Amino acid sequence: MKVFKTILKILIFIVLLIAVFISLYIIQGYSMYKTALEEMPIDEKIEEIISKEHYVLLDDIPKIYKDAVIACEDHRFYKHNGVDYTSIIRAILNNISSGAMKEGGSTITQQLCKNIYFTQDRKLERKFAEIFMAVEFEKNCSKDKILELYINTCFYGNGCYTLKEAANLYYKKEPIELNDYEATLIAGIPNAPSLYNPYYSMKLAKERHRQVLYSMVKFGYLTNDEVDNILKNEEDEEQYLESLRVKKG
């Protein structure tokens, strides 16, 4: 009985220590969030992004591209308030089981806030700042506008920071002109732009492309037959991309 009480005290102490540790990071994150807002309120930040030369409106983006982004980045995008606690818990459990930081559980809104307000450093206080900012962002913006802003602030590799720049570089097209293969391939690049852009590695770009298409099937945006149809001209698409890369080089 005495041993049990000792163990219980130790466990309570550890829990309290963890709670204090996390609380410190939450306070730091909140301070980071408030400082960022003071420096640039959300409405001013939105105006700044929209004024970019290559900004593209949601209506000028193929539906399949938007579906691909939601499927592979945040399939519950239209259901949460900026933070998907289910995804965060799942990510924590998966990271614990794998012994590595493989998942972050970030929503599209959180990723947008990280892109425009914070650094890419994997720090816990930045993660909390991102969460606070995401909730605030959703109070000030519609879901469609958030998606539009996100698409216009991702990095697509090779100096491309908007979908328009990526479509122009990789396919010599405007976003609305992208076919289903091209749109879904580009949608996978921002996950790791230095690896998945087709000018760096067509092999890795194709692997990521299949992950995107698999997610679209998984969440009901495409059927397996539609995926087969998208991939049927893959060799021709690859040769076309290679010819543009050679010309650029």
Residue 103 has pLDDT above 60, yes or no: no
Block residue for tokens 């700044």: 48
Dist. CA 149–CA 55, nearest whole Å? 9
Residues of the chain with pLDDT > 70: what percent?
89
Sequence-distant (≥ 6) Cβ neighbours of residue 65 within 8 angstroms: 151, 163, 175, 178, 183, 184, 186, 187
Alpha-carbon Rg for the chain in angstroms: 21
DSSP three-state, residue 188: coil
CA count, 13 A, side-chain hemisphere, 184:
29
Dist. CA 171–CA 186, nearest whole Å? 10
Tokens of 65: 């591209």
Dist. CA 64–CA 113, nearest whole Å? 24
Span 125-151, pLDDT tens digits: 888 999 999 999 999 999 999 999 999
pLDDT at residue number 223: 97
The pTM of this model reads 0.86
Domain ranges of the chain: 1-63+76-153, 155-249
pLDDT at residue number 50: 96
**Per-residue CA distances from 57 to 3, 30, 37, 61, 84 (Å):** 65, 32, 25, 7, 26
The CATH class of 155-249 is mainly alpha
Span 48-102, pLDDT tens digits: 999 999 999 999 999 999 999 999 999 999 999 999 887 777 665 565 555 444 5
Sequence-distant (≥ 6) Cβ neighbours of residue 194 within 8 angstroms: 157, 200
